[in-house]
């Protein structure tokens, strides 16, 4: 290797200028040496970050022309098909971006695609964190911040979708208003305050615009910054393997390896988004026409991340609605429209603490779980994904009904049943698969892996030769933690007295939950790596043939 290249004079100058003022050399080197573990699943959060950056860049561009105004005008712009049509200035200015600003159509499409990808990558990233137990101590707070980012991202997307004031976007606002009105006692007040009067009024778009480009992005930016500072400080989790322990992190250093890889990945993300915007049309508002409260088209779907709420609104029956003093309490709007959001975000936020309470595990975890090694958690996660997916599909039941020639109401009945049955089946099946995979892990640990080579022994017997797994595989398999709970300890202390905490109702609930959480797992107790008979078969075979 050649001699180290001299830093250019200008860079040295800047470096010293900054260090003279901030004393950064030591901190700087420490942070450039920060280690990022390698795994494809760690790139999911990166996609979310990069999409957010793309959203900021393209969003600023769009504000140069967009007019957040509901003033009614008669369109006489460049897009011929809508000339002479009454519309809001918001819609007209969006048409201007599409048909009078070069690249405007592209940037608007990039913005929309990036929003869809942003929420999608958030969801998949959260699933990764959930399934690998990366939310456990010490990272619970970062999980909560993540739930906050997810919540705001959905609202941010909904409000952005509403701004162009085209027919579907206005109908989205109408549904939002209908859901708000379902709130007992305060509903009509909240609606009046939000809309500045009755629906639609002429204030909701300026207000959503403020939320969409100022308040919510600022909150997102702050939460994302906090998310990164925390992960930077605590360092990433890593998957088990040789040398990867709760005390030591192994991976690529920030500089130069990770910086170049991550930089490249940003460009990949942006390229895919730009490619989609170029060739796959999304939200063609010029085809939908301006919003009017009197018209609607069928087959109307919201952006994908609102789909589960839309589906819930569709399949929830009005059976549980009731009236008090002549005022309706429409549970068919309240429960799916607001209750479900609460359940989703509340459940996500509570889980790390609930799991820690069940298991009594207060240790810090830096090595991620392999999902199979936490079968109940993984099963619950898949059950949640299934429920979400069923509701999401139900949000398109009219399309499904048409595509598969099923009667519309029948699809509703199917989804009403599936939302109860689906998650239960998903849980059971997932847990079984997890346990099966654990068994296979044990077999691999004991007998090595199946090499695919068939050998005939002198006795005529055919065997498949097993080979020893790599040290990394052995270490990864051996990392399997025992699923236990402190709630399952001795019922009584050494004097035979039942502990008072365990006798109380909460103690009993915790005990039974702990039992449910831990009862099924495949023990690796007493398993010695590569001690199994399959490996020795081959050896014996060789011995035998040598003897002959």
Partner 1 sequence: MLGTPSAETGESVVSGASVEAGHEGPYPASETHAHPEEVQRRGERIASLWFVIAFLGGVGFLVSYYLFPPSAQDVPAIADPRIGQYSNMLLGGTLAVALFGIGAGMTVWARRVMPHYEVSSPYDDLPSSEKEKGSFGDFFMKSADESGFTRRPLMRRTLIAAMLPLGLAPIVLLRDTGPLPGDKLRDTPWAEGVRMVVEGTDRFIRAEDLESEPNGMITALPYVVHEGGHGEGGHGGGEGESARYAEGYHLSLNDKAKSVILLIKIPEGDYKSGMTETVEGQDEPRINWTHNGIVAYSKICTHVGCPAALYERTTHRILCPCHQSTFDAANAAEVVFGPAHRPLPQLPIGVDDEGYLSRRATSPSRPGRRSGTTRRTSR
Does 285 bind partner 1 (CB under 8 A)? Our answer is no
Decide if residue 277 touches partner 1 (CB under 8 A).
yes
199-207, 355-363, 453-461, 487-495 -> range binding partner 1 (CB under 8 A): 199-207
Site for partner 1 in 370-409 (CB under 8 A): 397-398, 408-409
CB-wise, 280 or 497, nearer to partner 1? 280
Contact range with partner 1 by CB under 8 A, out of 183-191, 212-220, 378-386, 522-530: 183-191
381 alpha-carbon distance from chain centroid: 11
Q: Is 200 in the site for partner 1 (CB under 8 A)?
A: yes
Q: Phi, psi at residue 407, to the nearest 5°?
A: -65, 140
Q: Which of 7, 406, 424, 509 contacts partner 1 by CB under 8 A?
A: 7
Q: Are strands 449-456 and 35-36 parallel, antiparallel or unpaired?
A: unpaired
Minimum distance from residue 67 beta carbon to partner 1 (Å): 16
**252 belongs to the binding site for partner 1 (CB under 8 A):** yes
- Alpha-carbon distance 372 to 382, whole Å? 12
The binder of partner 1 chosen from 124, 144, 230, 250 (CB under 8 A): 250
**Is 134 within 8 Å of 237 (Cβ atoms)?**
yes
The DSSP letter of residue 86 is: E
Closer to partner 1 by Cβ: residue 296 or 417: 296
Q: How far apart are CA 78 and CA 226, in angstroms?
A: 45
Q: Which is nearer to partner 1, 13 or 342 (CB)?
A: 13
Q: Does 278 bind partner 1 (CB under 8 A)?
A: yes
Binders of partner 1 among residues 405 to 424 (CB under 8 A) are: 408-409, 412
Query: By CB under 8 A, what part of segment 19-38 binds partner 1?
Result: 19-20, 23, 25-26, 28-29, 33-35
For position 363 contacting partner 1 by CB under 8 A, the verdict is no
Name the DSSP letter for residue 363: S
Q: Which residues pair with 244 in a beta bridge?
A: 241
Q: Which of 61, 65, 228, 265 binds partner 1 (CB under 8 A)?
A: 265
How would you label 173-194 residue by residue, b for 16+ Cβ within 10 Å and e otherwise?
A: bbbbbbbbbbbeeebeeebeeb
According to the binding rule CB under 8 A, does residue 106 interact with partner 1?
A: yes
Dist. CA 111–CA 128, nearest whole Å: 25
Q: How far is the CB of 390 from partner 1 (least distance, A)?
A: 16
Site residues for partner 1, window 56-95 (CB under 8 A)? 71-72, 78-80
Q: Is 342 in the site for partner 1 (CB under 8 A)?
A: no
Place of tokens 């970062």: 142
Give the residue with the Cβ less far from partner 1, 202 or 468.
Answer: 202
Strands 327-329 and 449-456 come out as unpaired
Q: Does 134 bind partner 1 (CB under 8 A)?
A: no
- Candidates 309-317, 425-433, 447-455, 480-488: pick the segment binding partner 1 (CB under 8 A): 309-317
Asked if 375 and 292 touch (Cβ cutoff 8 Å), the reply is no
x-or-dash pattern for partner 1, window 223-242, by CB under 8 A? ----------xxx-------
Q: Does residue number 103 form part of the binding site for partner 1 (CB under 8 A)? A: yes
Contact between residue 307 and residue 395 where contact means Cβ atoms under 8 Å apart = yes
Query: Contact, 449 vs 469, CB < 8 A?
Result: yes
184 lies in the site for partner 1, by CB under 8 A: no
Nearest approach in angstroms of CB 372 to partner 1 is 24
* DSSP 8-state secondary structure symbol assigned to residue 297: -
CA nearest to 314, candidates 377, 255, 401, 198:
401
From candidates 116, 175, 419, 513, binder to partner 1 by CB under 8 A: 175
Report how far apart, in Å, the C-alpha atoms of 70 and of each of 79, 92, 290, 349 are.
19, 10, 11, 38
Smallest gap from residue 446 Cβ to partner 1 (A): 28
- Distance between CA atoms of 500 and 188, rounded to whole angstroms? 49
């Amino acid at each position: 290797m050649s001699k180290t290249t001299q830093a250019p004079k200008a860079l040295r100058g800047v470096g010293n200028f900054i260090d003279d003022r901030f004393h950064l050399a030591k901190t700087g080197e420490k942070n450039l040496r920060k280690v990022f573990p390698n795994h494809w699943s760690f790139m999911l959060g990166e996609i979310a970050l990069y999409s957010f950056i793309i959203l900021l860049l393209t969003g600023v561009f769009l504000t140069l022309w967009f007019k957040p105004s509901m003033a009614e005008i008669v369109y006489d712009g460049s897009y011929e098909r809508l000339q002479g049509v009454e519309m809001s200035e918001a819609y007209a200015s969006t048409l201007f971006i599409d048909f009078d600003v070069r690249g405007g159509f592209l940037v608007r499409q990039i913005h929309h695609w990036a929003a869809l990808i942003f929420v999608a990558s958030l969801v998949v990233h959260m699933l990764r964190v959930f399934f690998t137990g990366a939310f456990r101590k010490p990272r619970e707070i970062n999980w909560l911040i993540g739930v906050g980012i997810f919540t705001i991202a959905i609202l941010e997307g909904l409000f952005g979708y509403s701004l162009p004031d085209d027919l579907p976007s206005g109908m989205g606002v109408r549904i939002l208003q209908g859901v708000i009105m379902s709130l007992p006692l305060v509903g009509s007040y909240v609606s009046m305050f939000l809309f500045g009067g009755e629906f639609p009024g002429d204030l909701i778009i300026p207000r959503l615009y403020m939320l969409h480009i100022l308040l919510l992005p600022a909150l997102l930016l702050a939460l994302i910054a906090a998310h990164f500072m925390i992960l930077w400080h605590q360092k990433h989790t890593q998957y088990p393997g040789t040398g990867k322990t709760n005390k030591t992190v192994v991976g690529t250093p920030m500089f130069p390896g990770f910086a170049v890889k991550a930089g490249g990945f940003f460009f990949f993300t942006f390229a895919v988004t730009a490619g989609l915007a170029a060739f796959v049309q999304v939200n063609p508002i010029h085809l939908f026409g301006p919003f009017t409260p009197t018209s609607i088209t069928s087959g109307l779907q919201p952006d994908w991340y609102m789909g589960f709420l839309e589906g819930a609104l569709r399949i929830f029956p009005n059976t549980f609605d009731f009236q008090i003093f002549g005022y309706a309490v429409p549970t068919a709007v309240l429960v799916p429209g607001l209750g479900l959001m609460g359940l989703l975000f509340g459940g996500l936020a509570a889980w790390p603490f609930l799991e820690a309470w069940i298991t009594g595990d207060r240790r810090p975890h830096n090595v991620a779980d392999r999902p199979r090694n936490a079968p109940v958690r993984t099963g619950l996660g898949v059950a949640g994904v299934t429920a979400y997916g069923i509701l999401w599909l139900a949000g398109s039941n009219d399309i499904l009904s048409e595509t598969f020639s099923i009667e519309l109401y029948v699809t509703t009945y199917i989804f009403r049943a599936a939302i109860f049955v689906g998650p239960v089946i998903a849980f059971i099946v997932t847990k079984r698969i997890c346990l099966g995979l654990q068994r296979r892990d044990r077999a691999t640990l004991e007998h090595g892996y199946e090499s695919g080579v068939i050998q005939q022994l002198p006795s005529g017997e055919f065997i498949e030769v097993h080979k020893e797994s790599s040290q990394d595989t052995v270490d990864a398999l051996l990392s399997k933690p025992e699923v236990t709970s402190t709630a399952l300890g001795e019922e009584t202390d050494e004097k035979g007295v039942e502990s008072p905490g365990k006798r109380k109702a909460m103690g009993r609930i915790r005990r039974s939950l702990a039992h449910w959480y831990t009862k099924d797992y495949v023990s690796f107790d007493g398993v010695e790596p590569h001690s199994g008979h399959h490996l020795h078969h081959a050896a014996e075979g060789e011995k035998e043939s040598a003897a002959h």
